[in-house]
Structure 1
Amino acid sequence: DDMIIALAERYMSINCACFTPNHGRIDDIKRLVEEYKADGVIDINLKFCSLYDIEGYAVEKTLKEAGIPVLGIETDYNDQDSQQLRTRIGAFVEILNS
């Protein structure tokens, strides 16, 4: 029984968009930015995952309101957009370094 309870507690503590509304995930992102002194956040969402897409809007809005630079990216499991992602991330890093 203890193992099942521990497993259930672990699954329920995962910050995933499927547990919406998920203010804890957004709070954790802000906490991690402060803890690691991050210059910005790259929020990656998988295409066709409606929950992450919807929550991505809230993540970006909250981070921008907190003055934290954020780049929202939507991608999938193939590498067809790798050059485009490289360009977008490179531009974001340049903005952070300026």
Structure 2
Amino acid sequence: AEDGRDLEGQVDALAERYLKVDCACFTPNDNRTDKLVQLAKEYKADGVIHCSLAFCDPYLVESNRVEKVLKENNIPLLRLETDYSQEDSGQLKTRIEAFLEMLAAKK
């Protein structure tokens, strides 16, 4: 059943995967921010876009900590909040384009 070939194995595998999600709701914040900095450095990221779901308080509260940790590591940040509807897609596109232009100007 552990190999995922039957329903019980598939449910177990799915549950295990969900529990490994690196999310403000499911993981300690220090681990999450440490991983973010590690990945940014490993992939030589010019900046980070922190996109949080509107009305998700854990993400909104954590975004301040993410900003602080990235600032301490000299990694530029763009904070976005969205409800994933089409209504804010134009605004998000404009903000992301401006962030990319700012990053390009720093090179």
Q: TM-score range by the shorter chain?
A: 0.7 to 0.9
Pairwise CA distance, 1:95: 0.4
Q: Which amino acid aligns with 1:38?
A: A
Q: Distance in 1 between matches of 2:15 and 2:29?
A: 18
Q: Distance in 1 between matches of 2:24 and 2:52?
A: 10
Give the 4+ runs in structure 1 shifted more than 2 A.
1-4, 6-14
Corresponding residue for residue 86 of structure 2: 79
> What displacement does 1:19 show?
3.2
Unpaired runs of 5+ residues, structure 2, are 3-8
For residue 67 of structure 1, the aligned residue among 62, 68, 74 is: 74
Q: How many pairs align?
A: 97
Once the two structures are TM-superposed, the CA of residue 60 in structure 1 deviates from its matched residue by 1.0
Q: Which residue of 2 aligns with 1:45?
A: 52
- 1:93 is aligned, of 75, 80, 100, to 100
Identity %: 55
Q: Once superposed, what is the RMSD of the aligned Cα atoms?
A: 1.8
Q: Which consecutive unaligned segments of at least 5 residues does structure 1 have? A: none
Q: Secondary structure at the match of 1:80?
A: helix
Q: TM-score, normalised by structure 1?
A: 0.86
Q: Does 1:27 align with 2:46?
A: no
TM-score normalised by length of structure 2: 0.79
